[in-house]
Structure 1
């Protein structure tokens, strides 16, 4: 009976301390004075409220686990320099890297990145250097670039990518749009026609070696077009995007060198337009004239 009585008194005490439905006040866990529900520290006895203590303990526990994992990776010499840099940046609890995500675990342990991102580790390093975004807030340039590349490589929706990386779907949506704008802004640093006579000679010589005929020494690139599938816009002009293969698309015209690297791109025309018309209106054709 005494034990049951103690339990009843404890339930009454907890009930009195916790705010009721719609209430904006609560009692201090130490001195039982009336406080606002958002108050972190009692203004009378200066006692930290239990909710704040629980959150602080959770953050300390996470920091301890993360630091232990980092030290173990450094001791085994399996961590990359990218993770070492990312681990030094202090981040809030809501944007910490989830160490249990298999994609990130494979990346930070120097495994092959091509199955997940369709890019080699060397290409990833070059892309990160070109973007050059040293963010001290959010998820960081490395994580955001990986999310963007996984979205491109898999062709999956933001819902699927958010589950893969363990982050909110709205965050994936913002990351994809922001990194896309950054990549478009630097595309001319990578995609450009040969700028010197030596570069043009190297491309021509490469085509001649591939074709094993000297006539191709006058070739400066290989041009072709492809249809990029889209959801057609609503309205009377939606049928203009339906191509000869009976699906809606926009046209991409690309020129590549002898190594298969893009040296010129032009995109945006509806799928029903002929390739020759796209070529006549492209900046490449106008510069050739």
Structure 2
């Protein structure tokens, strides 16, 4: 058996191979499902980890940043872009799997996930915030109702977000104590599991206490901004 038999089956004759060399692979037209319309509410939630109502609430906040000026090349709608990103968040799967599910090319999915993530991150100042003078007592009361802990305004912890090694001279500082490369992210959450504060710039080898000691949230807490408020954590 000729070792090139499989290649001939894939590309056909020599003329087709030369055409691919000269002009590249033929353009592929992707067939895309309307997942928002086609999936029932439960299946949609299982696939994207958000309800349809939540997606409809998010979309107008970032839609302008995702619109393409024209519909050339069968461009993706803001809704499809958002769902592509949410599918990646929900599964953490390979881009090829995400692309097959959404009906896009791998490079398109990669670009979309980055753009949508940046658009979502731009909303952080409106939604990620510590309690103000007006709602400190409510949050303390909500925490007390959970576990009878008084004066709590937030719970703090670190979590490792896995990344590829950045390489270079400093690459190894991103390797955490569990042996993989990560960013150690400090998060403060409230009694409703909503993020109140986040620090996502320290390499995985950094200890949680180092991140807290150098964080603005510590300065705000010790400066009395939250009155008698306590942030609860575990060493």
**TM-score range for the pair, normalised by the shorter chain length:** 0.7 to 0.9
Q: Please give the alpha-carbon distance, in whole angstroms, between the structure 2 residues aligned to 1:131 and 1:195.
A: 26
2:165 is equivalent to residue 228 of structure 1: no
Secondary structure at 1:142 match in 2: helix
- The partner residue of 1:209 within 121, 128, 145 is 145
Contact 1:96 1:139 survives alignment (8 Å): no
User: CA-atom RMSD, angstroms?
Assistant: 2.3
Q: CA deviation at 1:132?
A: 3.7
The 1:207–1:95 alpha-carbon spacing in structure 2 relative to 1, beyond 3 Å, is: farther
Q: CA deviation at 1:237?
A: 1.7
- The partner residue of 1:140 within 70, 77, 100 is 77
- The partner residue of 1:108 within 33, 37, 44 is 37
Match of 1:160 in 2: 97
Q: For residues 121-180 of structure 1, what are the alpha-carbon distances to aligned partners after superposition, in whole Å with 9 as ceiling and x for unaligned?
A: 222122113224273533121111001111111112222211111112221121111111
Q: Please give the alpha-carbon distance, in whole angstroms, between the structure 1 residues aligned to 2:56 and 2:90.
A: 17
Q: Which has the larger radius of gyration?
A: 1
Matches within 5 A, 1:5-20: none
- The partner residue of 1:275 within 196, 208, 211 is 208
Q: CA deviation at 1:118?
A: 0.9
Q: Please give the alpha-carbon distance, in whole angstroms, between the structure 1 residues aligned to 2:159 and 2:129.
A: 19
Match of 2:60 in 1: 129
List structure 1 segments (4+ residues) > 6 angstroms apart after TM superposition: 94-97
Match of 1:256 in 2: 189
Q: Please give the alpha-carbon distance, in whole angstroms, between the structure 2 residues aligned to 1:192 and 1:109.
A: 36
Q: Please give the alpha-carbon distance, in whole angstroms, between the structure 2 residues aligned to 1:250 and 1:233.
A: 11
TM-score normalised per structure 2: 0.73
Q: Please give the alpha-carbon distance, in whole angstroms, between the structure 2 residues aligned to 1:283 and 1:200.
A: 18
If asked which structure has higher relative contact order (CA below 8 Å, sep 6+), I would say 2
Q: For residues 249-277 of structure 1, what are the alpha-carbon distances to aligned partners after superposition, in whole Å with 9 as ceiling and x for unaligned?
A: 11010011101111111112111111111
The 1:192–1:97 alpha-carbon spacing in structure 2 relative to 1, beyond 3 Å, is: farther
